[in-house]
Structure 1
Amino acid sequence: MKGHIRERSPGKWAIVLDVPDPETGKRRRKWHKFHGTKRQAETECARLVAELSGGSYIEPAKTTVREFMIRWLAHEKANVSPKTHQRYEELLLKNVAPVIGSVIMNKLTPARIDGCWTTLLESGRRPKKRREGASPTVEEKKGLSPRTVHHCRRVMLSAFEQAVKWDLLKKNPVALTKPPKVEKKPMEAFNASQTGLMLDELRKSRVFMAALLAALCGLRRGEIVALRWRDVDFANGTVAIRESAEQVGTLVRYKETKSGKSRSVALSSTVLEELKRHRLSQAEEQLKIGIRPDENSFIIAQVEGSPLKPVSLTHEWTRLLAKTSLPRIRFHDLRHSHATQLLAAGVHPKIASERLGHSTIGITLDLYSHVMPGMQANAAEQVDAAIKAAKKPAVE
């Protein structure tokens, strides 16, 4: 293995290596640029020759970060769900690539990547479309949230691990960067009285049944819009959660639940009565236009029986909630409301975990740790009362 240096201009050197072609075995030259003294250039040349001899040498390439990201996303498409893949594209191509996408892969340093995180935090928010000549709003000039930047780093870390496996890099520069600090936000949820008021306000809307299932059963949005009448067992008062709807753009697909397992959720008498009333009302509505609903019909549906899309449910929820005096929370927060009320009422976390469809009880305890102090105080009082009741009365 040979290599030598050539001076191009004062302080600028070319390191020339004789690299064997893996297919033909013939020698071909690879050039490296180097800035520094002659001794430093000779040291760098010796290091590259040693890597070449040891088999750890990676040829300088002209692949940019953006080009690699596109290649990795194509590779990853078969390994994740369409929704997850769409999110990866947004994080890498729409957030990271505009900042460092033009950098050559083997020229990317941890310092450059840390600078990317800083840029995204300060001014990474993508501007919305606005009329021609209009100035950007203050909102558009803001940066991304630390949580979003944290997600960018996490996905990029995984992508560059693959670059190391593909021998495009010797080591992962993302692993040497520092993720932004993410502060845990307090969970937003309705209390019992707010939940009751919400249901009264939305009773005459098409969102009512979906909101009821989220607030009183803790179902996810995708699970709700995927429910069919065959899933409800009125005799035993349960609903089977077998699949979930996932929307990517305008397309909706039905897949297994988030935990990968189906579950049975017990229904209260209120939910059962509302479901019976909703089924009768839905049947009357569809029969008027010549549609006969059956067991395969969707519970949450349009007038003509077609299923409601997840994003449409969110938009309608946001629109209707804005007309009430209630706090503005996400539709998913109705699920949090149900979980919080369960635990506050003294329901065992294991039961709450099964009802919510969490894969482990640890997820439930971590998400709703803010409810635990009250539960501990209540438990301490119960134990204290039991011990006092068991004590023998003192002899006078």
Structure 2
Amino acid sequence: MESHVVRVAGTLLLMAGAGRRQKRQRGSIEELPSGSLRVTVYAGIDPVTKRRHYLREVIPPGPSTRKEADKALRRLAGLVDERRNPRTNATVDQLLDRHFELVGLERSTLATYVGYADKHIRPLIGGVQVGALDADLFDSFYAELRRCREHCDRRPYVEHRTKRPHECDARRRPHSCTSLGASTIRQIHFILSGALKRAVRWRWIATNPIVEAEPPPAPKPSPRPPTAQEAAQILAEAWKDPDWGLLVWVAMVTGLRRGELCGIRWRHVDLTGGVLALERSIGQRSAETWEKDTKTHQHRRIALDPQTVDLLREHRQRCAGRAEALGLEPAKDAFVFSLAPDGSTHLLPDSVSQRYGKLAKRLGIQTSIHKPRHYSATELIAAGVDVRTVAGRLGHGGGGTTTLRVYAAWVSESDQRAAAGLFSRMPARPANGARAEQTITEPRHPYEAVAAALRREMEAGSVTVGEQLPAIKNLAEAHGVSAATAQRAVSLLQTWGYVEVLPGRGVRVLYTDPIDTTDHLPDPASSSNGSPLGEHPRRQLFDLVIRHRGTVVARLTTELDRTNAAELREVMSAAVRRSGGDDADIGEYEMELREAGEDELVTTFVAPVSSCR
């Protein structure tokens, strides 16, 4: 068979069988004017542009340029053979366009994601080819988002309230770089992650490069519900308009989202059974509104208390009266909260937020329309309602996982109250006297045996009052125990009142006659109060914290006897009245006792049920 050598684009190729049909060359190596070699491998048709797609790599000039070019040619050809090469030159902008066309998101969520892409993704990495993305690029991208949310060029400039022609006012100010929030950066990460997953599925790229990137950690939830006093102020101000007052009341009682409040129709309210059926919500983006499913796509039924049912019944009569006064009939499927006399239109979620925000601002309270939802959740948890029930009322998914994560602090407080309630119902601990006498006659531990032996020596007259006991080391050797055991024995004798430990001067005998150890063995729960041995001071200075359904309403310090229930109730009752509460509701309060200046909780007092009636 005849063979000959052919040069193709600067590469020597050995061809066999001149008369035989040759297979098309997969790649080429081209010498550039600079002396570099450009390696090119055909990789099929670009699915986006429908044009031929090539993989290219430039090898800089050097002593091993030819060898490196040959290696690059084989490597690129291998990528194509194994289908691990990028199949397109499409950019991130083109990928996002396709992704947003196909992604199945709710309208407001999609609008938010498109806004994030237009504001933060496209200006920074929109022109980068999808195949060129890697973890290093994403880490640099996230660092830029954390540096400045406006992506400035680090040169000073003046920020205006709008880019349109306008008259400058106090809102005109020098630009100051502020970081984009961690939650927003995470959402941008998830937008790109979803788009790149599609790119892998479409075989635009072989692997998802964002898997190796590290978005910022999720921020810890901080609900910050209004306090009981703030909630009372907000409701008192809102009730000046009965319709608006009812909306705020329902928000606090049910914990509904603002869109769910706007979407309630009278057919969803069962005034006879006292149940509210949540099925729909109102979405809004700028001036556009639409009716949609709830956030978690769950239909839920919320039980209503009798007072809320009565308020809704009065509101329905009020709406019917207004329509009748204008000669109208209530709409067939009227909304509960509406500015239209016939209830045919719903409120705008943005308008509800603005009105609530202005109300709170007048009162000097920093809150938003979403905070009554937190108030409802925390009050239910503080009242002892189980987390699954709270999650069901709020519409949280995951069987309460979200509720536990967001309201962990309130669940912890509820658990502490449960522990205190269980302690109050536990049977009384046996008296200490029997155990002390058993220690003397039937010691169970080595240190008890040493203490009993030393006591017998004292009672026998071997050691007299005022004498010094042998050193701890000598006691340990005499009784065949360790120094630590001998030290515990001396401490037990001190507890019984037989000896006195003099720092730096040894142990002095105080008493040698038989004594009743019942009065000298301290209660373990109260042995650290700093009182003289054998004494249990009944009156003590305590720091008190008064809570109403988990919310702190008063803090004070006073001297009292923590074993006197009548005195404790009197102190708590006075504190409740001073904080504006009603003595008749004292059963809803609890009082935490801590020794003055200490952090450790001594006990929690709750008024007996009989005294609350």
TM-score of the alignment, normalized to the shorter chain, above 0.5: yes
Matches of 1:100 and 1:82 in 2, distance apart? 25
What is the aligned counterpart of 2:185 among 149, 172, 194? 149
Tell me the equivalent position of 1:42: 70
1:277 is aligned to 2:314? yes
**Aligned 8 A contact 1:14 1:31 in 2:** no
Listed one character per residue, the Cα deviations across residues 71-112 of structure 1 (whole Å, up to 9, x for unaligned) are 211111xx2211121122112222211111122222233222
Tell me the equivalent position of 1:216: 253
What is the aligned counterpart of 1:90 among 103, 106, 115? 115
- Aligned to 1:73, the other structure's residue is in SS state helix
Which structure 2 residues correspond to residues 131-142 of structure 1 after superposition, within 5 A?
132=165, 137=173, 141-142=177-178
**Aligned 8 A contact 2:44 2:54 in 1:** no
Q: Which amino acid aligns with 1:55?
A: R
Listed one character per residue, the Cα deviations across residues 7-64 of structure 1 (whole Å, up to 9, x for unaligned) are 32447432122456699xxxx7835142545243332221111122223333451x22
**Higher relative contact order (CA closer than 8 Å, sequence separation 6+):** 1
What is the aligned counterpart of 1:289 among 323, 326, 329? 326
What is the aligned counterpart of 2:162 among 129, 132, 136? 129
- Aligned to 1:387, the other structure's residue is in SS state coil
- Aligned to 1:83, the other structure's residue is in SS state helix
Which structure 2 residues correspond to residues 56-205 of structure 1 after superposition, within 5 A?
56-61=84-89, 63-76=90-103, 79-125=104-150, 128-130=161-163, 132=165, 137=173, 141-205=177-241
Matches of 1:108 and 1:22 in 2, distance apart? 18
Q: Which amino acid aligns with 1:68?
A: L
Tell me the equivalent position of 1:383: 422
Q: Which amino acid aligns with 1:217?
A: T
Q: Which amino acid aligns with 2:98?
A: R
- TM (norm. structure 2) is 0.58
1:13 is aligned to 2:46? no
Q: By percentage of residues, which structure has more strand?
A: 2
**Aligned 8 A contact 1:244 1:254 in 2:** yes
Matches of 1:16 and 1:29 in 2, distance apart? 10
- Aligned to 2:173, the other structure's residue is in SS state coil
Tell me the equivalent position of 2:269: 232
Matches of 2:129 and 2:281 in 1, distance apart? 41
Q: 1:145 to 1:197 in 2, by over 3 A?
A: same
Displacement of 1:337: 0.7
What is the aligned counterpart of 1:345 among 370, 383, 396? 383
- How many equivalent residue pairs? 387
**Aligned 8 A contact 1:12 1:33 in 2:** no
Q: 1:41 to 1:291 in 2, by over 3 A?
A: farther
Q: 1:183 to 1:362 in 2, by over 3 A?
A: closer
**Aligned 8 A contact 2:360 2:366 in 1:** yes
Displacement of 1:367: 1.5
Per mean C-alpha deviation after superposition, the further-off stretch among 10-19 and 278-287 is 10-19
Tell me the equivalent position of 1:331: 369
Listed one character per residue, the Cα deviations across residues 151-196 of structure 1 (whole Å, up to 9, x for unaligned) are 1011111111111111111222222211123432522101222212
Matches of 2:402 and 2:272 in 1, distance apart? 32
Q: 1:393 to 1:20 in 2, by over 3 A?
A: closer
- TM (norm. structure 1) is 0.88
Q: Which amino acid aligns with 1:299?
A: V
Q: 1:138 to 1:173 in 2, by over 3 A?
A: farther
**Aligned 8 A contact 1:190 1:337 in 2:** yes
* Larger-gyration structure (1/2): 2
Tell me the equivalent position of 1:374: 413
Displacement of 1:241: 1.2
Q: Which amino acid aligns with 1:72?
A: H
Displacement of 1:139: 6.6
- Aligned to 2:427, the other structure's residue is in SS state helix
Q: 1:270 to 1:100 in 2, by over 3 A?
A: same
1:364 is aligned to 2:419? no
Indicate the percent of aligned positions where both proteins have the same amino acid. Answer: 24
Q: 1:9 to 1:270 in 2, by over 3 A?
A: farther
1:310 is aligned to 2:335? no
- Aligned to 2:389, the other structure's residue is in SS state helix
Matches of 2:276 and 2:163 in 1, distance apart? 46
Q: 1:101 to 1:55 in 2, by over 3 A?
A: closer
Matches of 2:245 and 2:73 in 1, distance apart? 71
Tell me the equivalent position of 1:264: 301
